[in-house]
């Protein structure tokens, strides 16, 4: 009987230790979301200025626009996919959602007869595809929940190189990005966007806004050359920040649930331990009483 009491006490102790860890991780995730949001907020002026300039340049150059990053290529059937996952789990369905969306995209692209090249950010995604024996073109890890602009730069360089390469040297015709869109603290949705070729320039060119007749220095083409890669990079940076915020929000939520569960468990085990203690006392008393009775009966 004493054994079961001890077992319950041990469980309570280990569960409360776990609860402390869950709680700490929840708080860490919560504080990092603030940072991710600040980073997104701080890079907003850059993105806005860039988007404005791209629309201005695009509207100026007009529909006869001819730039490698804007035109569809059909000389190859290779397609690149960039997948943004987390480095760690413990974030509920975050990684599973992104990976499921990736599988769906891969299936639909494969159906169209396209060859796929995968670029993966985050240890969970790398592990997932490694385990399934999928070859990965390039991987990055170690900063999924706090991305740096340098990472966005590396991603943009790697992808642009593939997109501008000739068909024989691994050129790709499309680049898709799968990431998790941060809708709110409680809702993050996996999302697929086609990064390249750029669709000119979706939702940005508003007919109501008239751009002045810009003078381009040195030439419209060279200005576009300078703008578009930066635009890609800014969009990738935005995706990375969204993914990081989603990961942290999902983790905070998961850890909050885990903390609640731990509390429930502790409560249940405390009740069971009390019951066991009470049963033990009752038994001891009844043993003593029956022993005393027996002695009294023998003495008289």
CA 246/CA 240 separation, integer angstroms = 10
Number of alpha carbons in the 13 Å side-chain half-sphere of residue 254: 18
CA 76/CA 84 separation, integer angstroms = 25
Residue 62 lies near other proteins (rule: CB under 8 A) = no
**Closest to other proteins by CB, 15 or 233:** 233
Q: Which residue has the tokens 């796929």?
A: 116
The piece of 13-21, 172-180, 228-236, 263-271 that touches other proteins (CB under 8 A) is 228-236
Distances (CA, A) of 246 to 53, 144, 234, 261: 29, 11, 18, 22
Residue 45 lies near other proteins (rule: CB under 8 A) = yes
Of how many residues is the chain composed? 300
Residue 53 lies near other proteins (rule: CB under 8 A) = yes
Residue 35 lies near other proteins (rule: CB under 8 A) = no
The answer to whether 83 and 121 have CB atoms below 8 angstroms apart is yes
> What number of other Cβ atoms are within 10 A of residue 105's Cβ?
19
Taking residues 237 to 276 in sequence order and writing x for each that binds other proteins by CB under 8 A, - otherwise, the string is x---------------------------------------
Residues between 161 and 190 with contacts to other proteins, criterion CB under 8 A:
none
**Closest to other proteins by CB, 9 or 35:** 35
Q: How far is CA 255 from the centre of its chain?
A: 15
Residue 42 lies near other proteins (rule: CB under 8 A) = yes
Residue 34 lies near other proteins (rule: CB under 8 A) = no
The answer to whether 164 and 171 have CB atoms below 8 angstroms apart is yes
Residue 29 lies near other proteins (rule: CB under 8 A) = no
Please select the residue that binds other proteins; options are 27, 222, 281, 295, rule is CB under 8 A: 222
Residue 43 lies near other proteins (rule: CB under 8 A) = yes
**Closest to other proteins by CB, 225 or 260:** 225
Please select the residue that binds other proteins; options are 35, 88, 146, 216, rule is CB under 8 A: 216
Residue 217 lies near other proteins (rule: CB under 8 A) = yes
Q: What DSSP character marks residue 141?
A: -
**Closest to other proteins by CB, 49 or 279:** 49
CA 223/CA 225 separation, integer angstroms = 5
**Closest to other proteins by CB, 40 or 258:** 40
The answer to whether 117 and 172 have CB atoms below 8 angstroms apart is yes
Residue 294 lies near other proteins (rule: CB under 8 A) = no
Residue 69 lies near other proteins (rule: CB under 8 A) = no
CA 107/CA 261 separation, integer angstroms = 37
Q: Among 25, 130, 29, which Cα is nearest to 83's?
A: 130
Please list the residues that pair with 281 across neighbouring strands: none
Residue 149 lies near other proteins (rule: CB under 8 A) = yes
CA 192/CA 131 separation, integer angstroms = 23
Interface contacts to other proteins, rule CB under 8 A: 39, 42-43, 45-46, 49-50, 52-53, 56-57, 149, 152-153, 211-218, 222-223, 225-227, 230, 233-234, 237
């Amino acid at each position: 009987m004493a054994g079961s009491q001890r077992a319950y006490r041990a469980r309570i102790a280990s569960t409360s230790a776990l609860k402390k860890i869950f709680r700490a991780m929840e708080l860490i995730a919560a504080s990092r979301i603030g940072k991710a949001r600040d980073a997104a907020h701080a890079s907003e002026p850059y993105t806005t200025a860039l988007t404005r300039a791209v629309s201005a340049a695009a509207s100026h150059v007009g529909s006869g626009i001819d730039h490698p990053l804007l035109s569809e290529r059909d000389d190859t059937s290779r397609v690149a996919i960039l997948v943004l996952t987390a480095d760690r789990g413990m974030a509920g369905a975050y990684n599973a959602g992104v990976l499921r969306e990736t599988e769906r995209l891969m299936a639909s692209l494969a159906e169209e007869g396209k060859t796929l090249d995968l670029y993966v950010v985050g240890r969970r995604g790398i592990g997932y595809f490694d385990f399934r024996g999928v070859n990965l073109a390039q991987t990055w890890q170690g900063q999924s929940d706090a991305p740096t602009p340098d990472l966005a730069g590396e991603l943009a360089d790697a992808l642009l190189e593939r997109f501008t390469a000739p068909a024989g040297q691994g050129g790709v015709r499309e680049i898709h990005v799968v990431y998790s869109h941060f809708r709110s603290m409680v809702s993050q949705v996996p999302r697929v966007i086609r990064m390249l070729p750029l669709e000119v320039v979706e939702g940005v060119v508003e007919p109501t806004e008239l751009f002045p007749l810009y003078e381009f220095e040195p030439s419209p083409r060279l200005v576009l050359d300078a703008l578009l890669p930066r635009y890609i990079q800014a969009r990738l940076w935005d995706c990375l920040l969204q993914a990081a915020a989603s990961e942290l929000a999902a983790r905070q939520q998961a850890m909050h649930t885990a903390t609640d569960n731990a509390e429930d468990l502790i409560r249940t085990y405390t009740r069971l331990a009390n019951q066991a203690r009470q049963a033990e006392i009752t038994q001891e008393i009844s043993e003593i009483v029956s022993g005393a009775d027996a002695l009294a009966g023998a003495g008289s």
